[in-house]
Structure 1
C-alpha cells in the first residue's frame, strides 16, 4: 500500500530497523568520504582519541539512517524527495558493533500545491542501548492521493 500525504498524521511515530555497523563499513566509508584519523586509524583512535576507539563518521551515520528510512518507509511512500534538513545533530558516537534503529515522528504538515504536501519529521537514530546517536528535523514532500498530477 502506498503511503500518501493524507495517510500521515501529526504525532504519528514509526519505529524500525536493526542495522549492524561493521568495522569494515566504518573504515570504507571514512576512507572514501571523511578520512579523519579517529574514523580511519583504529590504533591511534584507541590510544589518543576522546572516544576511546574507532567511530563512524557522522555523515556515515546519516547515510545508515537514510538507508533504514528508505527500506522501511520511503520505499512504500509517494515521496517526492526532501526540501532540506532544518536541524542535524550527532549526539553520541557510533561504533563498530552497534546496532541502529530509527524512530520517526511527524511534527508538522501543510499542503503546498494541489498535488503535494510538506511533511516535517523528527528522525532519531538509536543504538542498541537506546541512546540517541543522531537527531534531525527534515522536510519531505509527499504526493497527495487525490492531487492534481501537474
Structure 2
C-alpha cells in the first residue's frame, strides 16, 4: 500500500464527501497552498487510490423502485464459465455490482429495476439466457436504512 499521510487521508475523506469542491477549498481544509494540494490529488489519482469521480443519483427519481440481490450458482466451476458469465453481464445496466462470493452461491448481483415486471423481464430475457447458470435465488430489498459509498481511511 502507498504511504499516505494525514493530509492525503483528509483529502480522500473530503473528496468522498463532495468531489465538486474546488482545489482552493480543499487546500484551505488541509492547510496547504493550491499547487501542492493539486499535486497530491493528482498523485492519489495516478497511484489508483482515487479511481474516478461520479454523481450519486437517487434511483427513485428515475423510476428505479426495486432493488434486489440475485444469488447465482454456476453449473461448473471452471474458468471458461466464469469468463462467459462476466462477459454476459458486463453490459447490463440493471446490474450495479457483481461479486464472487463464498458459500452456497457463486456470484452475488446487486440489481436495480423499475418494478416486478422489469425484474421478470430481466430474469427471463437476460440472465436465464446464459447456459452456465444453474440457479438464481433473489432477495428483494424492502427498505434501506444505510446506503453509503464513503470508505473511511
Is the structural similarity TM-score above 0.5?
A: no
User: Which of the pair is proportionally richer in helix?
Assistant: 2
Q: Which bin holds the TM-score, normalised by the shorter protein?
A: under 0.3
- Point out the structure with max Rg over C-alpha: 2
